[in-house]
Structure 1
Amino acid sequence: MNASVESIAIPAGARELSTAEVSDALDALRLPGSVLGIGHVAGRARVFGPAFTVRYAPVDVAQPGTVGDYLDDTPEGSVVVLDNGGRVDCTVWGGILSQLAAHRGIAGTVIHGVCRDTAEAEQVAYPLYACGRFMRTGKDRVQVEAVGETVSLGDVRVSAGDFIVGDEDGVVVVPRARVTEVFERALALRGAEQRIVAATLAGASLTEARRQAAYHTLQRAAY
């Protein structure tokens, strides 16, 4: 079942974390989650929220389905995660969806595939992340196979309610059961980095500043 943002406890300050900080925290906790090959395409370069998952499959010629009206069931604050198997020959997201999603307060969309009508996403500042952009419709080429089930963003699994963070550097996925732990580690890393910068600008050596901030310990994987 897809989760609403209200059902997940988020540590104070987590919304300002970068994908790099979250990725380092995932590494330190020996968790996957850094998505390869999907980047910011249009709209605001920031997305943050629980995943609302949709998986596509090639169209069934005997019983063709649709590209989906799942947006009617997507909670405000969620991130729509679309798994189109990485296909780049047809899109599963366009201008109507961008405008409606922005109007309904949906946090953004991440696609293992391509999108189109990016100018309309720009007009409403709706965050779009994808493998790229291509204008050809997915109608009669793909159809919704499942909503609310586990999907893939390349080699990263995404379950409904997992947390999605995106910025200019890309997208990371935080398992729902580890959200607090991951974000708290990322916040600790951010604090250490801020102390290192302050110390070095005040004249300390980088080696000493890192030692004082226990930076390598925070970054090191927990075995």
Structure 2
Amino acid sequence: MELKDRILAPEIIEAYKELDTTEVADAVNRFGYNTGMFGLNCIVPGTKLCGQAFTVLFGVCQGGFEGKMDYLDEVPAGNVIVIDNDGRLDYSCWGDLMSRVAMRNGVNGTIADGIIRDIPDIREMKYPTFARATHMWTGKMHSYLEATQVPVRIAGVSVNPGDLIFGDDTGVLSIPFEIAEKVLAAAQEIHEREKVIEGFIKQGMRLDKAREETGYYFLQEAKKAGK
């Protein structure tokens, strides 16, 4: 499938925004995937990140600046920037100026397998951002833009351009494009079932009984990938 064909309908993305990452993660697990990005933290509390992946791959400079660094004006509005900086903790790959441009251009957030800086300004902007850690050290003269819109690996998870990225205060995960609609339906089912459980609990029912009544234990039952 060509990149131009990997576009999700806007209503699918909007529907995801009504959910949380725990519900979506349980739904992803149902299809035999484990795409939670362990070690990536929500940098701006209270924000939610949701959109299709625009992938960015950085390389390591071997002796000074090596070519192009900027790519932001290529990112379509509504996308989420996904930066593969190989999990490096010795220099940053994102900051406040990039966040300002991204917000101006309608980008829905950034995840970085590495460190980012300028945290006070990013939090003031409320720009949804996930990263391994924060530190002030610059990436200038240390990294260069190797490619965009190529498969990358983020915190051990393979991400392809167009995959759906979803994150909140609990964490961030990737939903493969091919199953995004099926995962949404499963997550909505889990969401509704948990609401029923909450109602039973408010009525005084035991948790184990409430879960048994709703078939909760089987909602996350893994199935073969792609089914």
TM over 0.5: yes
What's the CA shift for 1:45? 2.4
Query: Does the 8 Å CA contact 1:4/1:50 hold for their aligned counterparts?
Result: no
What's the counterpart of residue 8 of structure 1? 8
Give the aligned partner of residue 128 of structure 1: 129
Which structure 2 residues correspond to residues 20-39 of structure 1 after superposition, within 5 A? 20-39=22-41
Does residue 218 (structure 1) correspond to residue 223 (structure 2)? The answer is no
Deviates most, 41-50 or 24-33? 41-50
Aligned residues with identical type, % of pairs: 32
Q: Measure, in 1, the Cα distance between the counterparts of 2:44 and 2:207.
A: 37
Shift of 1:211: 2.2
In 2 relative to 1, CA 150–218 (structure 1 residues): closer, same or farther, beyond 3 Å?
Answer: same
Pair 1:84–1:120, CA change in 2 (3 A)? same
1:43–1:126 contact (8 Å) kept in structure 2: no
Find the residue that maps to 2:110 and give its secondary structure: strand
Selected match of 2:43 from 20, 33, 41: 41
Conserved 8 A contact 1:80-1:108: yes
Is the partner of 1:193 in helix, strand or coil?
helix
Cross-structure match for 1:155: 156
The residue number in structure 2 matching 1:74 is: 75
- Decide whether the 8 Å contact of 1:151 with 1:158 is kept in 2: yes
- What residue number does 2:96 align with? 95
Gaps of 5+ in 1: none
Deviation at 1:3, TM superposition (A): 6.5
Tell me, what secondary structure is at the counterpart of 1:190?
helix
- Asked if the contact 2:65/2:140 (under 8 Å) is kept, the reply is no
Question: TM-score normalized by structure 2?
Answer: 0.90
Give the distance between the partners of 1:3 and 1:131, measured in 2 at CA: 30
The counterpart of 2:54, out of the listed 38, 47, 52, is 52
Tell me how far apart the structure 2 counterparts of residues 44 and 4 of structure 1 sit (CA, whole Å): 32
The aligned counterpart of 2:116 is: 115
**AA matched with 1:170:** G
Question: C-alpha separation between the residues in 2 aligned to 1:157 and 1:218?
Answer: 25
CA contact (8 A) 1:19 1:170 kept: yes
What amino acid maps onto 1:110 in structure 2? Answer: I
User: How far apart, in 2, do the equivalents of 1:200 and 1:30 lie?
Assistant: 30
Contact 1:115 1:133 survives alignment (8 Å): yes
Return the alpha-carbon distance in structure 1 between the equivalents of residues 40 and 67 of structure 2.
Answer: 26
Q: In the alignment, is the contact (CA less than 8 A) between 2:45 and 2:169 conserved in 1?
A: no
- Provide the rounded CA distance (Å) in 1 between the counterparts of 2:14 and 2:71: 31
Helix, strand or coil: the match of 1:42?
Answer: coil
For these two proteins, the number of residue pairs brought into alignment is: 221
SS at the partner of 2:219?
A: helix
Asked whether the 8 Å contact 2:28–2:34 carries over to 1, the reply is yes
RMSD after superposition: 2.1
Normalised to the residue count of structure 1, the TM-score between the two structures is 0.92
**Structure 2: 5+ residue stretches without partners:** none
User: Per-residue deviation at 1:2?
Assistant: 6.0
State how far apart, in whole Å, the 2-side matches of 1:4 and 1:41 are: 32
